[in-house]
């Protein structure tokens, strides 16, 4: 593979270098982007950026090449009566969209319109969308793909601490003595953070790394201890660790007494999880569990992350809470090197949650708290009756599309036809509505189904903010103009609000701004005094410093490295973002019920639950478990990375990883085509035979959702979700393996 991402010497002579931020993942690396004559030409890491100090990963280096791809949309398109698409003017497209929305609302009420958005847009865009949906149209149907990603993060932080907002900083990985990566393949998915961890590893105080993953991933291979947990048994493992901490007295009694509630119940719940019992349930040898607990319990500073191996499993919120509990037990939170790091994946999933484009309310306000809603209504100058509606989750939105209650669906910054579980039903739902798709690329699986396609600007072509996993708000800069007539999502949303005549209480336009900078000012005012307080930030400050961590206000003018340094948690009824939910049923306590059980004195909750078997049962007909996930070279449904030659060449097509002994038993050789059959749906792809997956497990990368290829991991995802966060279970399907005709061993070295 020719290294085309690195420009040849001399090729960039005379280029203009613009400071910005990588647009791909939640690490938020600082970059400088090269452009010549209005075209992107290259990229380099920003050496003065606190996140990456010049480093970049393969996707970060390659991303600029996607912008100029011929599949970029340059004009809006309308679907004609015969089903074909025709190009049209912006005015024609937007008139049609506004009319469909107006008609749906006048005939069926605001609930007939829905928005499914993203973790990859800009803060200013989410905020505007959130305001339009809630305060303009009054529809509760707004959620984002973070439902598939970090919905569990938000719920677990609310349940344990009272509000969303990950407490730690990336610097904690360098200050830690022990790093626990729970269902997080950091080497491939958080590349630059992994480089920082590796640098710490070769420094004077190398941290011990524990990787908890059924597969021997690149992360697990480099870890000091790999706990190869059986898929779907996370909570049994973490309960085992909690029990060891309690039995060995590796906990901080004074911290627990002063700052938490629930110790007795916790001790009772975890008591059955002896090392031997945990070995039986999870397959992790008792001695390894004991070692892990000892490292965690006796290291002065511990940082843990959870990611999709936790969030996309059943009992997801409970497991994430149990990791929070582990840190609370030891008082290892709010100090350097100490944090339960409920992680993020997408570059701006934090902003979706902060601004309320995901079903939460802006500023982590509690939709069920009338005081919070009155405050928001006042700041937006709209009737309070429009607000405080119970959030509707993405699976419920798709269900209502399927059933016909939702008539118009606007999809922006996500590709559900290739990433949403229960794919056949998802496709049917998308076909059953008036579908508006806003995307930079015309060739996505979702755009192919659109009634109206609106071409958008993408990274490098618009300005705004993205907040990374450590609460650092970074500025992303416009470097070049978007192609053809493509417009930024912000411009499109502002135009839509004008066409829909959305107004505030005094009859003035609801959205009074049009530029990103003005939108940011509006958000600053909305967030002032809330937990994610941005009021002290400015674009200039973000650009100069390489981002600022919220809260940033008069009290913290330089931002905040760590939350809960003073361990007072917002669990009081008047502060809490949402009421405690039952981990088995998902039942949320009413504000009245919550008052009776709320912890007093700003205490956090020590939470966990008993292990339950996954619901998609393994049996004689479906004897294997399929898990899905990512590879370092690709970003999700590959709308960008498939268009970067060296990334596409490194991982051109899908595969199914099968354990060598399982393959032998089934008479399958490396490269043979196999069919993976689940209770719902199937996948056909070549078998990659090896030792990286354990016995009884197959792994399918989820990047290859192309309808034609039949390799979509979501075709076999069961219709199951975590009861609390409603995050779908995309990491566990009971399956069988069948050999089919054909071979494709594309990974053979030349």
Ligand X SMILES: Nc1nc2c(c(=O)[nH]1)N[C@H]1C(S)=C(S)[C@@H](COP(=O)(O)OP(=O)(O)OC[C@H]3O[C@@H](n4cnc5c(=O)[nH]c(N)nc54)[C@H](O)[C@@H]3O)O[C@H]1N2
In the complex, the residues that contact ligand SF4 under the rule CB under 6 A are: 22, 24-25, 27-29, 52, 56-57, 59-60, 191-192
Which residues are paired to 411 by β-bridges? 116, 437
Secondary-structure percent of the chain, ordered helix, strand, coil, rounded to 5: 35, 20, 45
The site string for ligand X over 472-511 (x = CB under 6 A, - otherwise) reads: -----------------x----------------------
Least Cβ distance, residue 345 to Mo ion (angstroms): 3
345 lies in the binding site for Mo ion (CB under 5 A): yes
- Closest-approach residue to ligand SF4 (CB): 60
Prior bond of 740 cis (ω within 30°): no
**Of 261 and 486, which CB lies nearer to ligand X in the complex structure?**
486
Least Cβ distance, residue 57 to ligand SF4 (angstroms): 3
Out of ligand SF4, Mo ion, ligand X, none, what residue 121 binds, judged by CB under 5 to 8 A for its kind, is ligand X
Binding residues among 224-253 for ligand X as defined by CB under 6 A: 229, 231-232, 234
Quote the tokens at residue 637: 């449904």
Quote the tokens at residue 273: 């999880």
Quote the tokens at residue 203: 């420094």
321 lies in the binding site for Mo ion (CB under 5 A): no
639 lies in the binding site for ligand X (CB under 6 A): yes
Q: In whole angstroms, how far apart are CA 174 and each of 38, 170, 207, 302, 323?
A: 39, 8, 8, 10, 20
Out of Mo ion, ligand X, ligand SF4, none, what residue 632 binds, judged by CB under 5 to 8 A for its kind, is ligand X
Q: Which residues contact residue 486 at a Cβ distance below 8 angstroms, ignoring those fewer than 6 apart? A: 72, 73, 74, 440, 455, 456, 457, 461
Least Cβ distance, residue 470 to ligand X (angstroms): 14
**Of 460 and 532, which CB lies nearer to ligand X in the complex structure?**
460
67 lies in the binding site for ligand X (CB under 6 A): no
713 lies in the binding site for Mo ion (CB under 5 A): no
Which residues are paired to 17 by β-bridges? 34
Least Cβ distance, residue 530 to Mo ion (angstroms): 24
25 lies in the binding site for ligand X (CB under 6 A): yes
Three-state DSSP at 738 gives strand
Q: Which residues contact residue 580 at a Cβ distance below 8 angstroms, ignoring those fewer than 6 apart? A: 159, 588, 589, 594, 597, 605
**Of 144 and 468, which CB lies nearer to ligand SF4 in the complex structure?**
468
**Of 345 and 516, which CB lies nearer to Mo ion in the complex structure?**
345
Q: Element (H or E) spanning 178, and its range?
A: strand 178-182
- Nearest CA-CA partner of 159 in 471, 592, 609, 583: 583
Pairing label, strands 77-79, 85-87: antiparallel
Out of ligand X, ligand SF4, Mo ion, none, what residue 307 binds, judged by CB under 5 to 8 A for its kind, is ligand X
5 lies in the binding site for ligand X (CB under 6 A): no
721 lies in the binding site for ligand X (CB under 6 A): no
The site string for ligand X over 391-430 (x = CB under 6 A, - otherwise) reads: ---------------------xxxxx--x-----------
**Of 283 and 345, which CB lies nearer to Mo ion in the complex structure?**
345
Binding span for Mo ion by CB under 5 A among 231-239, 345-353, 494-502, 725-733: 345-353
SS (H, E, C) 212-275: ECCCCCHHHHHCCEEECCCCCCHHHHHHHHHHHHHHCCCCCHHHHHHHEECHHHHHHHHCCCCH
55 lies in the binding site for ligand X (CB under 6 A): no
Query: How many CB atoms sit inside 10 A of residue 716's CB?
Result: 25
Binding residue (CB under 6 A) for ligand X from 269, 426, 444, 571 = 444
Out of Mo ion, ligand SF4, ligand X, none, what residue 240 binds, judged by CB under 5 to 8 A for its kind, is none
Binding residues among 170-199 for ligand X as defined by CB under 6 A: 182-185, 188-189
> Within a 13 Å sphere around the CA of 80, how many CA atoms are in the beta-carbon half?
6
Out of ligand SF4, Mo ion, ligand X, none, what residue 185 binds, judged by CB under 5 to 8 A for its kind, is ligand X
Q: What is the DSSP letter of 132?
A: I
Give, rounded to a whole angstrom, the gap between the first and last alpha carbons of the chain.
Answer: 11
Out of ligand X, ligand SF4, Mo ion, none, what residue 192 binds, judged by CB under 5 to 8 A for its kind, is ligand SF4
Separation CA 86–CA 78 (nearest Å) = 5
Separation CA 640–CA 383 (nearest Å) = 41
Binding residues among 124-153 for Mo ion as defined by CB under 5 A: 149
147 lies in the binding site for ligand X (CB under 6 A): no
Binding residue (CB under 6 A) for ligand X from 127, 398, 434, 441 = 441
Find the Cα–Cα–Cα–Cα dihedral 215, 221, 224, 229, rounded to 10°. Answer: 10
**Of 415 and 553, which CB lies nearer to ligand X in the complex structure?**
415
Q: In whole angstroms, how far apart are CA 113 and each of 76, 109, 342, 688?
A: 21, 8, 32, 44
**Of 147 and 640, which CB lies nearer to ligand SF4 in the complex structure?**
640
Contact in structure between 114 and 137 (CB atoms under 8 Å): no
Residues contributing to the site for ligand X (CB under 6 A): 25, 59, 118-121, 145, 148-149, 182-185, 188-189, 212-215, 217, 229, 231-232, 234, 307-309, 312-313, 345-346, 412-416, 419, 438-441, 444, 456, 458, 489, 627-630, 632, 634-637, 639, 702, 713-714, 717, 730-731
Interface residues with Mo ion (CB under 5 A)?
149, 345
């Amino acid at each position: 593979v020719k290294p085309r991402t690195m420009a040849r010497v001399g090729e960039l002579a005379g280029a203009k270098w613009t400071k910005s931020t990588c647009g791909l993942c939640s690490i938020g690396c600082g970059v400088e982007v090269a452009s010549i004559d209005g075209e992107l030409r290259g990229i380099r890491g920003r050496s003065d950026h606190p996140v990456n100090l010049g480093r970049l990963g393969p996707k970060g280096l390659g991303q600029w090449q996607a912008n100029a791809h011929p599949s970029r949309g340059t004009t809006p398109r309308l679907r004609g009566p015969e089903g074909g698409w025709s190009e049209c003017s912006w005015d024609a497209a937007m008139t049609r969209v506004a009319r469909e929305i107006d008609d749906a609302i006048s005939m069926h009420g605001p609930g007939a319109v829905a928005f499914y958005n993203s973790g990859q847009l800009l803060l200013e865009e989410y905020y505007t969308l959130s305001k339009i949906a809630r305060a303009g149209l009054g529809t509760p149907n707004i959620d984002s793909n973070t439902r598939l990603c970090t919905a569990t993060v938000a719920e677990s932080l609310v349940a344990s601490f009272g509000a969303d907002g990950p407490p730690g900083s990336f610097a904690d990985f360098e200050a830690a003595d022990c790093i626990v990566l729970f269902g997080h393949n950091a080497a491939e998915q958080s590349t630059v953070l992994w480089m920082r961890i590796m640098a710490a590893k070769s420094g004077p105080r190398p941290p011990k790394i524990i990787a908890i993953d059924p597969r021997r991933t690149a992360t697990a291979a480099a870890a000091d201890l790999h706990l190869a947990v059986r898929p779907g048994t996370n909570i049994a493992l973490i309960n085992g660790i909690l029990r060891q901490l309690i039995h060995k007295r590796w906990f901080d009694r004074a911290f627990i007494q002063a700052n938490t509630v629930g110790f007795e119940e916790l001790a009772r719940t975890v008591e059955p999880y002896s090392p031997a019992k945990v070995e039986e349930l999870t397959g992790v040898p008792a001695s390894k569990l004991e070692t892990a607990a000892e490292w965690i319990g006796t290291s002065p500073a511990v940082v843990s992350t959870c990611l999709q191996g936790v969030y996309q499993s059943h009992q997801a919120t409970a497991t994430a809470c149990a990791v929070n509990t582990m840190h609370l037990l030891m008082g290892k939170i709010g100090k350097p090197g100490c944090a339960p790091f409920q992680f993020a994946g997408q570059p701006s999933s934090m902003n979706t949650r902060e601004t309320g484009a995901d079903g939460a309310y802006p500023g982590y306000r509690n939709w069920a708290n009338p005081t919070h809603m009155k405050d928001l209504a006042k700041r937006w100058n709209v009737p309070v009756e429009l607000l405080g509606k119970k959030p509707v989750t993405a699976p419920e939105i798709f269900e209502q599309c399927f059933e016909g209650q939702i008539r118009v669906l606007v999809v922006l910054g996500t590709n559900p036809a290739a990433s949403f579980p229960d794919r056949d039903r998802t496709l049917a739902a998308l076909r059953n509505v008036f579908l508006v798709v806003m995307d930079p690329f015309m060739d996505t699986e979702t755009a192919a189904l659109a009634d109206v396609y609106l071409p958008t600007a993408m990274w490098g072509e618009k300005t705004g903010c993205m907040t990374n996993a450590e609460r650092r708000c970074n500025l992303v800069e416009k470097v070049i103009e978007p192609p053809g007539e493509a417009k930024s999502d912000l411009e499109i949303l502002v135009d839509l609000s004008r066409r829909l005549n959305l107004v505030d209480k005094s009859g003035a336009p609801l959205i009074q701004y049009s530029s990103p900078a003005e939108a940011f000012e509006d958000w600053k005012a909305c967030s002032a005094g809330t937990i994610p307080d941005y009021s002290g930030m400015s674009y200039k400050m973000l650009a100069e410093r390489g981002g600022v961590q919220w809260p940033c206000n008069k009290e913290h003018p330089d931002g905040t490295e760590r939350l809960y340094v003073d361990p007072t948690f917002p669990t009081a009824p008047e502060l809490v973002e949402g009421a405690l939910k039952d981990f088995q049923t998902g039942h949320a306590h009413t504000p009245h019920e919550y008052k009776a059980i709320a912890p007093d004195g700003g205490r956090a909750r020590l939470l966990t639950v008993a292990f339950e078997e996954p619901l998609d049962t393994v049996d004689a007909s479906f004897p294997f478990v399929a898990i899905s996930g990512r590879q370092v070279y690709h970003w999700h449904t590959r709308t960008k990375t498939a268009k970067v030659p060296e990334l596409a060449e490194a991982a051109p097509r899908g595969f199914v990883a099968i354990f060598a002994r399982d393959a032998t038993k089934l008479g399958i050789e490396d490269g043979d085509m196999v069919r993976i059959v689940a209770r719902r749906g199937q996948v056909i792809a070549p078998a990659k035979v090896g030792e990286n997956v354990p016995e009884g497990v197959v792994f399918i990368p989820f990047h290859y959702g192309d309808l034609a290829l039949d390799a979509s991991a979501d075709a076999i995802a069961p219709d199951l979700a975590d009861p609390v966060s409603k995050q779908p279970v995309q990491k566990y399907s009971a399956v069988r393996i069948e050999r089919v005709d054909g071979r494709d061993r594309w990974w053979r070295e030349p």
